[in-house]
Amino acid sequence: MRYLKNGIHFTSRKCICKEVPINSAKMDSNNYIRNDIHWLVRGIPLHIFKEMLDDVDEGKNYELLRNERFKKLLKYTSSQGSFFIKHYSVKNMRDIFKSLFSPSKAQREWERGRLLLKNQVLTAEPVAVGEKRCFKTLKDCYIISQAIPNSKSLKERLIDIQQSTTEHKHTQKSILLKNLISYIGTLHNNNIFHGELHAENILVSQNDSLFYLIDLARLKCKSTASLTPGIKDIARLVCSIRDVCTDGEITELINQYAHHTVIDKNREVFYKAVFAKIYKTQCRLWNGRVRRCLKNNNKFTVTVHNSFTIYMRNEWNVIELSDAIDKHLLSLKEHPDNVIKVSSRVCITRIPVSNKTVKSACIKEHQYPSLIKKILYHFFHSPAKKSWLAAHGLTELNFSTPKPIALFEEKKFGRLRRSFLVMEDVSAYLTCDRYVNEKFRNSPDVVTVRKKRMFISCLAKSFRQLHTSGIYHSDLKANNIMVVELPDTWNFSYLDLDRVYFYKKITDKQKIKNLSQINASLPHCITYTDRLRFYQIYAGIKKLNGRDKQILKEIISISIRRNHVWMPGVPIIQASSSTVGAREK
């Protein structure tokens, strides 16, 4: 029995799950050796393939799309068409050992691509695969695939629809997502699972009618039906389109998938499993993206200069950053106007830099006078490195913080001597306590009061979003929050990030600590009513119950013990009861 659905042409479920050796296919193939790389060429004439390699060697007719330490991607274009060339390098000894017993990434993509095409599943046609080995261990591998004309990635297509000004864009998007989930459901019903099914690995034809799978190294064809790999695929897809789809659209997508693939009695188990997998996938992806700032890739560079190990953004160079560090050290001695803070452990300066996008940088120097800490930070992250990671972690979760530029760490005999964290200078903005003092201390007219209420509301929502996202900042005082005023709203940028923790369940004790920190550090022009309004917006409530009143008492009690800016002039019991009573009236 043969049937056609969403660009997939299957002969039978049995056939689609059987991995047929590629060598059995009736197609001319050529073996070719060049620069110790053994190539298998199939699908294009050998002279065209040789011409392609000659052009790439000479730096002609190609565009470098991706340039990472262990992976490179080129797009080659000639009169014969366009081709994508992938180059994988071996990462470590584990990969070298694996290469003795299992096929390389390029070989796996080649086999799976040929298998899908044999069973009429649309994908980019692989035309050549190459491996470079030394004593049978893999060094590099390559795969060349033909480009799919008039197609875009699913992510690009969804962004185009989102930015479109046409009246029917919502209908267009709904149809696209419906066709997509029907396509994925058909694949999974025939036991084909991609393994890394995100929106960049699915191409969409010009009229949104056909879908193509690419990057097939993890694709698997199961011999028996299984729900687990399908859940993994759906979770990965959802994580990749959350920024271009609403929660309602994603929920509908999951419902339609369940309708296509899951029997009724397993629906409840499926929903629980898929949402749990989405959360785990989000954590894994976030952690991977944040850790990229400690590796060589297309955004960051890790290098050694003099006695420093340097982690920096690629748009900067070592010389200009080293000059900035020298200016920082000189400012501490000779230019006190550039100095923001000096202590035995931390020195902060504001330094002008000669960069296209950043004219001034803030350099925070961490010193480690304790011998125990010098040794300890050889094995664990130093405060400077924690801040470097936390800044990228906040950025990945769409929270504002000064842009991290570089991290310098100086070690001697395995002991950390000092660290320098270079960040974008945001001193043009005010800290939260100074902003409140300047804007709301005087002139209590109607306009100012209304503006203050809007400010309190925005600040409370920012705190709630921070805690809802599983982020805990253990020193969330007003002077660690920079305020960026915009028309009718405010952005809040967080500082002092060495004690920021991610993806943890925020306990009530931690929430109360953060709320008492901001409460104690805001000036007296923020009234009792304002503070109560802040808590209600943060908690998402309109009326206080007994638990809320107890939490408010604890916040006030801790705020008083902190002995910071805000000191109420009445005892704690009176303060809490009068505040609550005023709100109840």
**Rg of the chain's alpha carbons, rounded to an integer?**
29
Nearest CA-CA partner of 211 in 5, 2, 1: 5
The CB-side HSE value for 101 (13 A sphere, CA atoms) comes to 4
Tens digits of residue pLDDT in 376-401? 888 889 999 999 999 999 999 889 99
Choice among 5-14, 93-102, 156-165, 402-411 with the minimum mean pLDDT: 5-14
Share of the chain above pLDDT 70, in %: 91
pLDDT at 466: 92
Among 424, 454, 471, where does a domain finish? 424
Domain check: are 554 and 435 in the same one?
yes
Alpha-carbon distance of 422 to 408, in angstroms, equals: 8
pLDDT at 580: 33
Asked if residue 483 has pLDDT above 70, the reply is yes
Among 424, 449, 466, where does a domain finish? 424
Residue 211: domain span = 151-293
Alpha-carbon distance of 231 to 201, in angstroms, equals: 17
When comparing pLDDT for 260 and 461, which is higher?
Answer: 461
Average pLDDT over residues 152-160: 93
Domain check: are 57 and 100 in the same one?
yes
pLDDT at 28: 65
CATH code for position 275? 1.10.510.10
Average pLDDT of the chain, as a whole number: 86
Domain check: are 525 and 551 in the same one?
yes
Average pLDDT over residues 511-539: 91
Domain check: are 59 and 132 in the same one?
yes
Domain check: are 434 and 571 in the same one?
yes
Among 146, 179, 210, where does a domain finish? 146
Domain check: are 417 and 462 in the same one?
no
Domain check: are 412 and 340 in the same one?
yes
Residues 6 or more apart whose CB falls under 8 angstroms from that of 90 comprise: 70, 96, 99, 138, 139, 140
When comparing pLDDT for 514 and 9, which is higher?
Answer: 514
Domain check: are 434 and 579 in the same one?
yes
Domain check: are 197 and 327 in the same one?
no
Average pLDDT over residues 506-517: 92
DSSP 329-352: HHHHHH-GGGEEEE-SSEEEEEEE
Domain check: are 321 and 353 in the same one?
yes
Domain check: are 31 and 132 in the same one?
yes
pLDDT at 354: 80
The pLDDT-based confidence of 9 (bands split at 50, 70, 90) is very low
Domain check: are 438 and 494 in the same one?
yes
Choice among 13-27, 75-89, 308-322, 334-348 with the minimum mean pLDDT: 13-27
pTM, full prediction: 0.77
pLDDT at 569: 57
The pLDDT-based confidence of 325 (bands split at 50, 70, 90) is very high
Work out the number of other CB atoms within 10 angstroms of the CB of residue 56.
14
- The single-letter DSSP state of residue 264 is G
What is the arrangement of strands in the sheet containing 151-153, beginning at the earlier edge strand?
Answer: 151-153, 202-205, 211-213
Tens digits of residue pLDDT in 418-448? 999 999 998 889 999 999 998 888 767 888 8
Count of structural domains, the chain: 4
